[in-house]
Every structure is written in C-alpha cells, then in structure tokens.
C-alpha cells in the first residue's frame, strides 16, 4: 500500500509541474529573428515587426596628397604645405518596401571629413576642415523622387573620381520623375539652383532649374544627354551636358563627354576653381576617359580634358591630363595611385599645377 501511495504522489507532482510549465509557455512572448530580404538585392534584411527591408553601407577613405602650391586654384582651400592627409567617412541607409504604387524607398547618406589643411578634393561642400553633414536624403515612390541628391545634369565620365575636375558633380534639392524601359530612360526634374552658385541663391534668379535627361544603356555602348535652364533677371541661363561610352572588348572602356553653359551655370561647367565664375560666360569643356582592366584586381584610368570660357572679352582656357592605377587585392578594399597636371590661363595669367594622391578605401 505504501508503494502504491508513493507512485500516485509522484505522478501528481509531475502532473502539477507539467501544467505549470505549459502555463508558462502559453504566455511567453514570441521571439522574432532578423530575416534576410533578398527581394531588393544583396545586403538587405527585414526590420523586425515591419515589412520594410533595410541596407546599411558606407566607406572609409584615407588619402595622402602631394601638390604644388598652385594646386590651390584647382582644389580650393588654404595650405601651409605641399602635402596633407585627408580622411573621409561615408555612411548610408536604404529602406525599401513594395506598395500598390510601386517600390517605396527612403535613402539617407552622411559624410564626414577631416583635413587639417581645409582641403576638399571633390564635392560641392567646400572649406570644411572637419565635420559631419547630410550628403543625400530623399524619398522615392514609383517614378517620383523628392529630396536632395545629385543633379540629373550630372553625367559621369566613367572613370575614377580622381580623373578630372571638368566633370560636373553637384547635388540639389529636387522633384524628379523617372521612367525606364528596354535600356532607355527619361528623367524630368525641378531643381533648386543654389548648388550652382554656391551657398546662397542670387536674388535675380526667379525660378528653379527645369531639367531633363535621356539615357541609353546597351550591350556595347551607353549614352546620356541632359539639359537645363532657369531665368536670371532678363536672361535665360542654360546648360547642356552629354556623353557617349563604348565597350572596346572585355577589358577596355572609353567615355567621351562634352558640356556647355551660359553665365550662372559657369560654376557647374568649369569644375572646381578653374575660372572666375563672376565674370566668365559661355563656358564649355570636353574630355575623354579611357579605362583598361588588366585583371579583376588591377585597372587603370587615363583622362584628357580641355575647357574654355569668355571673360570680359578674353578667352580663358584650361587643359588637363590625369591618370590612376587601382589595385583591389581583396573584396571591398582598394588602393589607388593617382596623378594630375592642370594648366590654366585665367584673365591672361597662365598657371600650372600638379597633384599626386595615394588613397586607401574600405567599403561595405
């Protein structure tokens, strides 16, 4: 009898314990793990508790620059030496989801620079010795984009960004519509023109920049043609920018670019510090960029460019030759050796300058 009582008591204890565990499990919160989102490409993951996919990217770049004092006119900034170090960090976030109106995107990019010599080799933010700022921020749903990003008047020369100062590279607040089909595209935009003149908008500019762009991307060639205009006082200010690119076999690419603009768009067409934008009118520039890929890890770029402007009845000119060697020993890491020589004739004064750069870049 005692043995039977012991078995019944043990069974009761286990039953009560099991019921308590079952009760605990019934109220436990579900655990939600981060899931990969491959619907928008590599690198996206689903934000827990939402239908939005997020991708985080960025880069860190360290440059060692050697330059002649005359290179101040090309780069902008102040220097006490013919050398400097420059560190740049970029961080961007891309959020995407699908809606009944098409893909919904939000994009934010931050950029930070540190340079004790206050030199900014590229970009439309000039004179920041150190700091972090909002580089790009926009939303996009279907064909509509609204926010700050690069102007549709920009056309890349297809090479490394060290290659040329003649290529426009400006960002602007804008409203943009984009359509694409069968390798062809069309863009229409209304852009704030502040970036073309600097930090402030001239009082005589009575309307935003109206811009359009046609693009083509085919097997062996690509091309783009962009144009924009605005009204400055009684004068219509305008710019036209176009390029053609060719795939010359598996390892060679060639890009040819031409841009021309009236006063007001001088800052856009001249590159950085080439001419005196206050007096220059009818600026135009042409350049070609050749890229050769020796191996998947090793490539080179060569660029030749020429620019001209009319300044108070005189012709100002500039020409440039530049090149670089890029080595990528591992994925998402590269080291670049670049050099550039520029000769300018501004208001009858001829100036030559050169610079050389060694850059280390880690991206993700």
pLDDT in tens, 183-202: 999 999 999 876 555 545 66
Contacts 24+ apart (CB under 8 A), 143-147: 143/102, 143/177, 143/178, 143/179, 144/175, 144/176, 144/177, 145/174, 145/175, 145/176, 145/177, 145/178, 146/174, 146/175, 146/176, 147/107, 147/173, 147/174
Nearest one of 134, 129, 142 to 179, comparing CA atoms: 142
**From CA 207, how far away is CA 237, in angstroms rounded?**
11
**From CA 318, how far away is CA 272, in angstroms rounded?**
12
pLDDT tens digits, one per residue of 11-57: 444 444 554 454 455 555 655 667 899 889 899 999 998 999 999 99
Domains of the chain: 46-363 (2.40.160.10)
Assess contact for 262 and 281: CB atoms under 8 A: yes
User: Does position 71 have pLDDT exceeding 60, yes or no?
Assistant: no
> How high does pLDDT run on average in the chain?
79
How far is the CA of 135 from the CAs of 86, 109, 124, 148, 195, in angstroms? 18, 5, 10, 8, 13
Burial 93-108 (b: 16+ CB within 10 A, else e): ebbbbeeeeeeebbbb
Helices (H), 28-124: 72-75
Is pLDDT larger for residue 258 or for residue 363? 363
Max mean pLDDT among 130-134, 147-151, 349-353 falls in 147-151
Kindly provide the residue ranges of all beta strands, DSSP E only, lying in 233-347, ordered along the sequence. 235-247, 252-261, 280-295, 298-311, 314-330, 333-346
**From CA 307, how far away is CA 284, in angstroms rounded?**
6
Assign 200 to helix, strand or coil: coil
Assess contact for 52 and 40: CB atoms under 8 A: no
pLDDT of residue 163: 46
**From CA 347, how far away is CA 151, in angstroms rounded?**
30
Binning pLDDT at 50, 70 and 90, where does residue 236 land? confident
pLDDT of residue 273: 43
Q: What percent of the chain has pLDDT over 90?
A: 38
Binning pLDDT at 50, 70 and 90, where does residue 148 land? very high
pLDDT of residue 127: 43
Binning pLDDT at 50, 70 and 90, where does residue 75 land? very low
Assign 2 to helix, strand or coil: helix
Q: How far is CA 286 from the centre of its chain?
A: 22
Helices (H), the chain: 2-27, 72-75, 194-197, 266-269
Tokens 């100062």, residue located: 165
**From CA 270, how far away is CA 275, in angstroms rounded?**
7
**From CA 15, how far away is CA 261, in angstroms rounded?**
87
Assess contact for 83 and 76: CB atoms under 8 A: no
Q: What percent of the chain has pLDDT over 70?
A: 71
Nearest one of 190, 153, 187 to 173, comparing CA atoms: 190
> Which distant-in-sequence residues (6+ apart) come within 8 Å of 313 by Cβ?
none
pLDDT tens digits, one per residue of 341-360: 888 887 777 888 888 889 99
Is pLDDT larger for residue 335 or for residue 307? 335
DSSP 8-state code for residue 116: T
Helix %, strand %, coil % of the chain (to 5): 10, 55, 30
Is pLDDT larger for residue 58 or for residue 23? 58
**From CA 303, how far away is CA 289, in angstroms rounded?**
4
């Amino acid at each position: 009898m005692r043995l039977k009582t012991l078995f019944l008591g043990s069974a009761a204890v286990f039953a009560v314990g099991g019921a308590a565990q079952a009760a605990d499990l019934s109220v436990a919160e579900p655990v939600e793990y981060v899931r990969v989102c491959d619907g928008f490409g590599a690198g996206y993951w689903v934000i827990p508790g939402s239908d939005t996919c997020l991708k985080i990217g960025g880069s860190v770049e360290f440059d060692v620059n050697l330059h002649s004092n005359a290179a101040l006119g090309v780069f902008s900034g102040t220097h006490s030496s013919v050398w400097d170090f420059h560190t740049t960090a970029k961080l961007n976030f891309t959020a995407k989801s699908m809606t009944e109106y098409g893909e919904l995107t939000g994009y934010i990019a931050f950029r930070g620079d540190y340079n004790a010599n206050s030199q900014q080799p590229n970009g439309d933010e000039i004179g920041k010795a150190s700091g972090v700022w909002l580089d790009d921020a926009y939303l996009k749903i279907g064909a509509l984009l609204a926010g700050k990003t690069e102007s549709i008047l920009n056309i890349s020369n297809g090479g490394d960004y060290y290659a040329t100062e003649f290529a426009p590279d400006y960002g602007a607040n804008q409203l943009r519509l984009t359509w694409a089909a069968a390798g062809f595209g069309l863009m229409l935009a209304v852009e704030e023109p502040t970036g073309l003149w600097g930090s402030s908008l001239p009082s005589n500019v009575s309307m935003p920049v109206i811009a359009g762009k046609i693009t083509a991307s085919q097997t062996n060639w690509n091309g783009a043609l962009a144009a924009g205009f605005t009204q400055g006082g009684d004068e219509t200010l305008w710019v036209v920018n176009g390029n053609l690119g060719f795939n010359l076999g598996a390892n060679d690419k060639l890009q040819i670019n031409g841009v021309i603009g009236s006063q007001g768009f001088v800052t856009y067409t001249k590159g950085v510090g080439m001419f005196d934008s206050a007096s220059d009118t009818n600026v135009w520039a042409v350049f070609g960029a050749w890229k050769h890929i020796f191996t998947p890890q090793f490539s080179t770029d060569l660029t030749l460019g020429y620019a001209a402007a009319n300044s108070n009845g005189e012709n100002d000119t500039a020409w440039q030759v530049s090149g670089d060697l890029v080595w990528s020993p591992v994925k998402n890491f590269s080291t670049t050796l670049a050099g550039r020589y520029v000769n300018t004739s501004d208001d009858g004064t001829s100036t030559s300058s050169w610079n050389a750069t060694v850059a280390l870049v880690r991206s993700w």
